[in-house]
C-alpha cells in the first residue's frame, strides 16, 4: 500500500496557519477564533422574513449569515436586507450564495460582504453525467475561459472590498472535472485549486475555501488532501467546514460533529456551519458547542508520539488486528453498552458484564485496560505474548483524541495486533452536549481506522441514549450500518417544498429499511450529485413538484407533491420485490 503521512501534528492540537480574511468587519483565519455561521431558508425576495430570520440567527451567536441568490433580483435585494438589518442595529456580514450564473456573482459583489461561488457550476454547465472527452488543448481552452471570467469577478470584489468563498460541493463537480479526474477526491481538490490558483496569481487573498460532501469520511480525507496541496503550492487561505445534507435531530448533530470535529481536531478550519434540516437558528448552538469543545485542547501537555509508518492520513484504512470472537479482524466495530429492548440498538457486550483487568492480571481472552503511559517495553512484550486479548483504551488527557491516536499508533509500530475498544467517560447533564462531544472524539478515531469498538459512559444518560449515540457515530462514519440513512439538505430559499415536514414523513414511512440511503433534497443545485451514493432520492423540481431518483437516474419527473412520498414507497417496494 502506498503511504502518505502528513505535516499535520495529529497528536497535539494547533491551529493551521492562514492569511487573515475580512468579511464585512469580521476577521477569519490567522489568530482569530473559529467563526460560526448559518444560512437562511427564506426567499431572499422576502425582505422582512429574511431580516427576522437573520436576527434570530445572530441572537443565537451566528457571526455570518448566508442567503441564496438565484438571480440578479435576489442579489440586489441583499442590499435592502442589509439596510433593514442596520436600521435594527445589526451589522452581521451577509454572504450571497451563487450557483449557475456568473453574472449574478458580479451583481452580488456590489451588495453582499462575501460571495460564495461553486466551481462546479460557475462557468461550466450544470452536472449532466455525460461521458464527454476533452483533449489537452480543449481542457486548456476551458481553463482559459474560466480564468477570464473569474478574473473579471475578482476585479469587482477588489473594488468593492468584498470577500469570496470558493465552495466546492462533491455533488456538483463539472462534467469537465468528472471526465478528467472522475468522481474522486483528486477531482474535488482540483476543482477547488483551479480557482485558488487564479486568486493567488491575481494577488487576491480575501478568500475562504470549502469542500463539502454528505459522506463524512470523504469530506474529512478530501479536506486533508486539499490542505496538503494548498501548502505545496504556497496557498494558505482559511477553510470553512461543513457536512452537507447532514439531516436533522440526533443524526444530523452526530454526523456534523463527526465530520467537522475530525478536522478541527487537527487544527483545520476557521469558520463552521452545521447544516441541519431544521430552523437555521438551531444550527448555531451546535456549532458553538463543537468549536468551543475542540478549542479547549489548545495549550494542553504535549504528547510525545510518532506516526506509524504505514498510516495514510489522506486515505486511512482500518488497522489490521487479530479477531477475538466478534471483536476486531474483519468484524464491524462492536458496541459495549446497556440492555435495551430495541434490537437495532442492542449492544454486543453489556457493560456491566465485561470484566476489565489490568495488564498485570491479563490472561488469554481478557479485556485489558490500557492507557498511553502503559505502552512501555515491559508491557509491550506481555501484550505481544498473550493471545485472544481485547484492549480497552482510555484517556484522561485534555486532548484525549491525540493521546488515543498516539496509543494505537504505538501499538501498530510495536506490532501488537490485539483489537482496541475505545472507552470514553463523560459527565454531561445534557444528552445534546454528550452527542456532540462523543461524536467529535470518537468519529476521527473511526475515520483513521484505529477502532474496533466503542464504549461510552455518562452517569446521567440512559442505556438507550448511550447506545443510540454509539450506533449513530458508527453509522455517521459508515463503519457499521444499523438503520436507514437520510441524506437531507438543510433547505434554503431555493427549497421547493416543506422540507422539514416531508423529511419527518419520509422517515416515518421508511425507517424500517435498514441499510437503505435516501436523499431528501430541496432543489436540483446539489441534489442529484450530492445524493449520488444514495439508493433513492426525493428532489424538489418546481413549486409543488417533486422528481424521484434511483441513484443518479431520474425515474419520475414533476410528480405532484401530495403524491410523491407514496410514489417513492412504490418505487422502493417494486425494486425490492424485483430483487427478491
Q: Are residues 492 and 434 in the same domain?
A: no
**Contact by Cβ (8 Å): 436, 257:** yes
Residue 1's pLDDT band, with cuts at 50, 70 and 90, is very low
Total structural domains in the chain?
3
Share of the chain above pLDDT 90, in %: 64
Closest CA to 116 of 32, 219, 30, 23: 23
- Residue 251 CA to residue 535 CA, distance in Å, equals 18
Q: Are 335 and 348 in contact (CB under 8 A)?
A: yes
Cα distance between residue 343 and residue 20, in whole Å: 51
Question: Residue 131 pLDDT > 60, yes or no?
Answer: no
Cell of 578: 424485483
Quick one: pLDDT band at residue 490, thresholds 50, 70, 90? low
Q: Pick from 515, 525, 517, 514: which is nearest to 490 by CA?
A: 525
| Number of H-type helices and E-type strands within the chain | 16, 22
Same domain, 52 and 187: yes
pLDDT score, position 503: 78
Q: 161 with 298, same domain?
A: no
Whether residues 348 and 380 fall in one domain: yes
What's the whole-number mean pLDDT along residues 412-424?
96
Instruction: Establish how many alpha carbons lie within 13 A of residue 342's alpha carbon, considering only the half-sphere containing its beta carbon.
Output: 13
Q: Are residues 77 and 213 in the same domain?
A: yes
Neighbours of 566 (CB within 10 A): 11
- Considering the entire predicted model, what is its pTM? 0.88
CA angle, residues 402, 404, 406, in degrees to nearest 5:
70
What is residue 203's DSSP assignment?
T
- Half-sphere CA count of 511, side-chain side, radius 13 A: 8
Show which of 453, 482, 511 is a domain's final residue: 482
Dump pLDDT digits (tens) for 288-326: 999 999 999 999 999 999 999 999 999 999 999 999 999
Segment 220-227 mean pLDDT: 96
Query: Which residues neighbour 288 within 8 Å (Cβ) at sequence distance 6 or greater?
Result: 36, 61
Helix H, strand E, coil C: the string for 227-239 is: HHHHHHCCCCCCE
Residues 82 and 154 in one domain: yes
pLDDT in tens, 238-285: 999 998 765 667 888 999 999 999 999 999 999 999 988 788 999 999
If asked whether residues 132 and 268 sit together in one domain, one would say yes
Last residue of a domain, one of 276, 301, 329: 276
Residues linked to residue 36 through DSSP beta bridges, in sequence order: 272
Output 195 or 100, whichever has higher pLDDT. 195
Per-residue CA distances from 552 to 86, 98, 113, 577 (Å): 44, 23, 35, 21
- Asked if residue 315 and residue 251 are part of one domain, the reply reads no
Is the pLDDT at 2 greater than 50? The verdict is no
- Burial degree of 206 (CB within 10 A; 0-12, 13-18, 19+): buried
The backbone torsions φ and ψ at residue 506, rounded to the nearest 5 degrees and listed phi first, read: -65, -40
Out of 450, 482, 514, a domain closes at: 482
Residues in the chain: 580
Q: Are residues 526 and 397 in the same domain?
A: no
Smallest CA-to-CA distance from 214 within 507, 430, 422, 521 is with 521
CATH number at residue 506: 3.30.413.10
Spatial distance between the Cα atoms of 65 and 49, rounded to a whole number of angstroms: 14
What value does the mean pLDDT take over residues 139-154? 90
Rounded distance, CA 119 to CA 99, Å? Answer: 9
Q: Pairing mode, if any, of strands 21-23 and 485-488?
A: unpaired
Q: What is the pLDDT of residues 326-359, one digit of tens each?
A: 999 999 999 999 888 788 889 999 999 999 999 9
- For residues 495 and 396, membership in a common domain is answered with no
- Residue 288 domain boundaries: 1-23+277-482
pLDDT digits (tens, 9 = 90+) for 470-479: 999 999 999 9
Q: Poorest-confidence range of 93-97, 343-347, 436-440, 524-528?
A: 524-528
Q: Are residues 236 and 110 in the same domain?
A: yes
Residue 205 has pLDDT above 90, yes or no: yes
Task: Spell out the residues 6+ positions from residue 71 whose beta carbon is closer than 8 angstroms to its own.
Answer: 101, 104
pLDDT tens string 134-145: 788 888 888 898
DSSP line for 380-438: HHHHHH--S-EEEE---STTHHHHHHHHHHHHHHHT----EEEEEE---S-HHHHHHHH
Whether 111 and 55 map to the same domain: the answer is yes
Position with higher pLDDT, 460 vs 548: 460
| Contacts of 542 by beta carbon, 8 Å cutoff, 6+ apart | 496, 558
Model confidence band, residue 410 (pLDDT cutoffs 50, 70, 90) = very high
Query: Is residue 127 predicted with pLDDT exceeding 80?
Result: no
**Bigger pLDDT: 245 vs 575:** 575
Amino acid at each position: 500500500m502506498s503511504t502518505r503521512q502528513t505535516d499535520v501534528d495529529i497528536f497535539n492540537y494547533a491551529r493551521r496557519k492562514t492569511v487573515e480574511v475580512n468579511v464585512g468587519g469580521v476577521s477569519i483565519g490567522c489568530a482569530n477564533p473559529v467563526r460560526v455561521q448559518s444560512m437562511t431558508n427564506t426567499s431572499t425576495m422576502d425582505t422582512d422574513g429574511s431580516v427576522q430570520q437573520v436576527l434570530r440567527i445572530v441572537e443565537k451567536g451566528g457571526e455570518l449569515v448566508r442567503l441564496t441568490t438565484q438571480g440578479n433580483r435576489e442579489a440586489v435585494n441583499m442590499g435592502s436586507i442589509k439596510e433593514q438589518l442596520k436600521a435594527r442595529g445589526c451589522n452581521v456580514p451577509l454572504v450571497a450564495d451563487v450557483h449557475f450564473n456568473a453574472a449574478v456573482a458580479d451583481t452580488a459583489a456590489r451588495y453582499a460582504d462575501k460571495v460564495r461561488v461553486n466551481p462546479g457550476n460557475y462557468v461550466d454547465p450544470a452536472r449532466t453525467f455525460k461521458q464527454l472527452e476533452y483533449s489537452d488543448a480543449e481542457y486548456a481552452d476551458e481553463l482559459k475561459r474560466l480564468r477570464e471570467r473569474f478574473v473579471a469577478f475578482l476585479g469587482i470584489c477588489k473594488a468593492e472590498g468584498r470577500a469570496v468563498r470558493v465552495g466546492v460541493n462533491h455533488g456538483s463537480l463539472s462534467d469537465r472535472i468528472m471526465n478528467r479526474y472522475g468522481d474522486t477526491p483528486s477531482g474535488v481538490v482540483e476543482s477547488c485549486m483551479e480557482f485558488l490558483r487564479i486568486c493567488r496569481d491575481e494577488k487576491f487573498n480575501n478568500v475562504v475555501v470549502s469542500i463539502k460532501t454528505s459522506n463524512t469520511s470523504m469530506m474529512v480525507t478530501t479536506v486533508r488532501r486539499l490542505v496538503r496541496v494548498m501548502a505545496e503550492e504556497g496557498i494558505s487561505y482559511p477553510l470553512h467546514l461543513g457536512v452537507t445534507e447532514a439531516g436533522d435531530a440526533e443524526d444530523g448533530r452526530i454526523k456534523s460533529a463527526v465530520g467537522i470535529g475530525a478536522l478541527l481536531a487537527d487544527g483545520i478550519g476557521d469558520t463552521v456551519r452545521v447544516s441541519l434540516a431544521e430552523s437555521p437558528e438551531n444550527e448555531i448552538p451546535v456549532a458553538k458547542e463543537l468549536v468551543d469543545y475542540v478549542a479547549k485542547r489548545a495549550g494542553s501537555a504535549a504528547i510525545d508520539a510518532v506516526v506509524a509508518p504505514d498510516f495514510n492520513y489522506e486515505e486511512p484504512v482500518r488497522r489490521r488486528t487479530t479477531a477475538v470472537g466478534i471483536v476486531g479482524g474483519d468484524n464491524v466495530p462492536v458496541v459495549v453498552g446497556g440492555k435495551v429492548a430495541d434490537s437495532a440498538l442492542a449492544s454486543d457486550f453489556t457493560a456491566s458484564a465485561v470484566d476489565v483487568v489490568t495488564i498485570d492480571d491479563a490472561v488469554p481472552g481478557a479485556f485489558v485496560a490500557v492507557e498511553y503511559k502503559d505502552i512501555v517495553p515491559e508491557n509491550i512484550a506481555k501484550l505481544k505474548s498473550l493471545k485472544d486479548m481485547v484492549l480497552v483504551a482510555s484517556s484522561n488527557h485534555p486532548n484525549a483524541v491525540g493521546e488515543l491516536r498516539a496509543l494505537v499508533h504505538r501499538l501498530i509500530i510495536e506490532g501488537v495486533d490485539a483489537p482496541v475498544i475505545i472507552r470514553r467517560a463523560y459527565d454531561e447533564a445534557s444528552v445534546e452536549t454528550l452527542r456532540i462531544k462523543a461524536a467529535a472524539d470518537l468519529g476521527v478515531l473511526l475515520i483513521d481506522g484505529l477502532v474496533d469498538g466503542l464504549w461510552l459512559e455518562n452517569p446521567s444518560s440512559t442505556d438507550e441514549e448511550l447506545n443510540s449515540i454509539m450506533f449513530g457515530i458508527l453509522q455517521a462514519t459508515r463503519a457499521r450500518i444499523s438503520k436507514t440513512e437520510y441524506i437531507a439538505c438543510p433547505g434554503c430559499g431555493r427549497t421547493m417544498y416543506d422540507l422539514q415536514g416531508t423529511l419527518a414523513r419520509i422517515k416515518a414511512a421508511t425507517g424500517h429499511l435498514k441499510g437503505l440511503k435516501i436523499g431528501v433534497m430541496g432543489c436540483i443545485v446539489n441534489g442529484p450529485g450530492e445524493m449520488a451514493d444514495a439508493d433513492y432520492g426525493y428532489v424538489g423540481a418546481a413549486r409543488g413538484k417533486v422528481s424521484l431518483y434511483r441513484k443518479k437516474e431520474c425515474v419520475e419527473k414533476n410528480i405532484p407533491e401530495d403524491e410523491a412520498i407514496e410514489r417513492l414507497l412504490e418505487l422502493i417496494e417494486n425494486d425490492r420485490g424485483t430483487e427478491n
